[in-house]
Each structure stands twice: as C-alpha cells, then as structure tokens.
C-alpha cells in the first residue's frame, strides 16, 4: 500500500510516498522544501512566516511527491503543470500527517491539508507523533535490504526541541529514561552559532567549521562536559552554552582588535571543542544506558544525528564497548525533518492495528504531544 505522508511541524514543508513490508519501509518519493534561507536572516524560525510559507508550498510539494512516485519517469514528464495529485489519488491507500509536537501554526497547515485530502479522496487518515517519526527513520530502507533494529532498543533522540534517551522494548513502547533539563542539543548548537555570529541553523555550520579546524589554537580551549559522570541519564546543555559565551567574551577582550569579530581559526577551534563536548556527553550517557538496560540496538534520531562526528564516534564506541549491540543511524538526508519518516511510523502503526484503516482520525494538533 502506498502511504502519502505530510510533515510541516517546523520550517520544512515535506511530502513523501512510502511502502512498507517485512523488510522495512521503502521510499518511493521524498520532497523536502526547506525555508532555511527565509528564516536565517532572523537568526531562527519565525512561526508566522513559517506558517505562511507552508500554505504556499504544501500543495506543490504534495503534487511533486505524487508526480515523482508515479508519473515523472514516464512520457507524461514532458507535460507541464499537470495536477498529479488529482490523477495520482487512486494510487494512495493511506494519508499520514505529523500532528505534534511542533509549532502549532505550522502543524495546522499540514494537518488540515491531509484532512481535506483524506475527506475528498475518501482515504483513511492517521496522525503521527513527530518524534516517533524521527525514531522510525531507522526503519527506512534505502537499498534493497537492511537489517532491522532488534528490541529492546535504546533511542538517542537529538533534535532542535528534544534530547532524550528512550527505551523501546517493542514497537510503540516508549519509556523515557533520561532527558535534557534545559536546552536541547540542537538548540545548543543553534545558540552557540548565534554567540559566535556564524549563522543559522547552527548544527551544520558548526560541524563544517569544526572539520576545518587546523590552527595554532588546536586543543587550546576546554569546555565542560555537563552531567557526564552523573548517575542518571539526564542531560544539560545550557551551562555549556554559557561557558562558550564567557570564553568568547574573554577572547574578544584579549585577542581581537575588533571587538565584534574573532579570527576564523579561533572560531573553528571553539566549534570543534563545543561539538566534542556535546558528543562526549551524548555518547557516554548512551553507552551507560545501553549497558544498564541490556539493549540489542542503539538508534540515533533527530536533526543532530546528521552530525558527521557524532555518527562516526557513536558507531566506533558501540563497536568497541558493546560487542553484541548494533547501532543504527538514518541516512543523513532523513535525520532532519522529512515526511518519509512520518510514512515509516504510519506503516508500523497500521501494521500493529489495521483497524486504523477503517476509521478516519480526528484532526487534532498538539504542539506538546509527548511520545
């Protein structure tokens, strides 16, 4: 069955067609229209602006996802302005949409579009939790076959709004065993980038600068690893962000002639040390929890899992410290917000309870929906 999935929880308008089977979920098409270029001049996502752009983008994005899945490989691709949604609706068996957590005005655009399409096309309709979507990106299949995660699994969810360690004893069984007490990991990347004046969103920019760090300042700066050796599985990133702020203010006073800017080599070295501090804490707590709960798989989920060093170092650490545990990380393009992951989560919801196909979910968005 083809699932049309829609995701608009923050600043990405996305639609995808996916199909599930015993070997995971196959992506037939995936369209992500990012608004980063619009929001970066404000230094972050402006909810009003995001919602207005979702309204503009949603129908073309859905149209393109359907067109790419079923028509664009054929002769019809030569014809312009085709309403693929209209002709493609017969191919779709289910419509899935993110209905929380996220920005309420953004969520509403996706949810109302999905609801309207389901009503007019007479299709079943299901609402999906955004964090569940991030976790199920680990069940997306890119090549012919993948080994699927085994339970119990431990998921490290690291996004712009969430940082949590979630124990899954089976599909849809979630127990949060630790979480951030203040900022989320992605939020810390974004705020530190703001302090350094290097742009938005912080994660990809910091990661790129950290890779370029080869300077006389190598390993000169030392930032704290908050709560790394505590007995619980919680995190805290707000103090780390403040430590960067103090360091930057000191350096600006002592090193830079121009109070407003630091040399690029220093900025790159701070990025490297900050990124490593976040990674050290995330990995230490994940490995400790994996041992404590004797899990078989470790899953990485959320936008921060696109981070090259985190992906590499977590994979290496699991190999050396946990011989019987496999680690799973979504392909980089499916770490940040996308509709394919929502389709994957929908497939497993339907598999667990086919009754969903007989009823139409009530449209209800919940900006604070917890797993």
Which one of Zn ion, ligand KG4, none is in contact with 110 (Cβ closer than 5 to 8 A by kind)? Answer: none
CB 292 within 8 A of CB 320: no
Under rule CB under 6 A, which residues in 337-356 are in contact with ligand KG4?
Answer: 337
Q: Which of 115, 132, 183, 190 binds ligand KG4 (CB under 6 A)?
A: 190
**Helices (H), ranges, the chain:** 36-39, 47-70, 84-88, 104-121, 130-136, 185-196, 202-211, 238-254, 264-292, 308-321, 339-352
Under rule CB under 6 A, which residues in 71-100 are in contact with ligand KG4?
Answer: none
Q: Which stretch binds ligand KG4 (CB under 6 A): 13-21, 144-152, 184-192, 254-262?
A: 184-192
Nearer to ligand KG4, 103 or 154 (CB): 103
Nearer to ligand KG4, 141 or 162 (CB): 162
Q: Which of 103, 107, 304, 318 binds ligand KG4 (CB under 6 A)?
A: 304
Give Cα 240 distance to the centre of its chain.
22
Encoded tokens for 77: 């691709």
Rounded distance between C-alpha atoms, residue 226 and residue 123, angstroms: 49
Q: Which of 2, 8, 13, 307 binds ligand KG4 (CB under 6 A)?
A: 307
DSSP string spanning 124-164?
-EEEEEHHHHHHHGGGEE-SS--PPP-SSEEEEEE-SS-EE
Nearer to ligand KG4, 149 or 161 (CB): 161
**By CB under 5 A, how many residues form the interface with Zn ion?**
2
Encoded tokens for 227: 């709560």
- The residue among 26, 7, 47 whose CA lies nearest residue 129 is 7
Which one of Zn ion, ligand KG4, none is in contact with 24 (Cβ closer than 5 to 8 A by kind)? Answer: none
Largest CA distance in the chain: 68
The reply on whether position 189 binds ligand KG4 by CB under 6 A is yes
The reply on whether position 63 binds Zn ion by CB under 5 A is no
The reply on whether position 336 binds ligand KG4 by CB under 6 A is yes
Binding site for ligand KG4 (CB under 6 A): 10, 159-161, 186-187, 189-190, 201-204, 207, 302-304, 306-307, 336-337
């Amino acid at each position: 069955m083809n699932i049309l999935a829609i995701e608009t929880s923050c600043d990405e308008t996305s639609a995808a067609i996916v199909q599930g089977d015993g070997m995971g979920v196959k992506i037939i098409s995936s369209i992500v229209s990012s608004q980063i270029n619009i929001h970066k001049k404000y230094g972050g996502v402006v909810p009003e602006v995001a919602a207005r752009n979702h309204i503009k983008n949603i129908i073309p994005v859905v149209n393109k996802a359907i067109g790419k899945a079923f028509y664009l490989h054929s002769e019809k691709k030569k014809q312009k302005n085709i309403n693929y949604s209209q002709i493609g609706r017969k191919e779709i068996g289910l419509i899935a949409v993110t209905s929380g957590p996220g920005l309420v005005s953004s969520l509403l655009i996706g949810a109302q579009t999905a609801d309207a399409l389901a009503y007019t096309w007479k299709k079943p309709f299901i609402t999906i939790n955004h964090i569940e979507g991030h976790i199920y990106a680990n069940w997306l299949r890119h090549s012919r076959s993948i080994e699927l995660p085994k339970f119990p699994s431990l998921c490290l969810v690291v996004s712009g709004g969430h940082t949590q360690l979630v124990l899954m004893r089976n599909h849809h069984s979630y127990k949060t065993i630790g979480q951030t007490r203040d900022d989320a990991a992605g939020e810390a990347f974004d705020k530190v980038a703001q302090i350094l004046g290097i742009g938005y969103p912080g994660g990809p920019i910091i990661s790129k600068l950290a890779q370029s760090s080869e300077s006389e300042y190598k390993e000169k700066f030392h930032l704290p690893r908050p709560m790394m050796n505590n007995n619980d599985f919680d995190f805290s990133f707000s103090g780390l962000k403040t430590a960067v702020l103090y360091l930057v203010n000191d350096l600006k006073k002592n090193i830079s002639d121009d109070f407003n800017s630091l040399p690029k080599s220093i900025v790159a070295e701070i990025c490297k040390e900050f990124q490593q501090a976040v990674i050290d804490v995330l990995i230490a707590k994940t490995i400790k929890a994996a041992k404590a709960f004797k899990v078989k798989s470790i899953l990485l989920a959320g936008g921060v899992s696109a981070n090259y060093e985190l992906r590499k170092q977590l994979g290496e650490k699991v190999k050396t410290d946990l011989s019987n545990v496999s680690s799973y990380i979504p392909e980089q393009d499916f770490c940040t917000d996308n509709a394919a992951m929502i389709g994957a989560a929908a497939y497993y919801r339907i598999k667990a309870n086919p009754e969903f196909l007989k009823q139409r979910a009530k449209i209800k968005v919940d900006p604070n929906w917890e797993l």
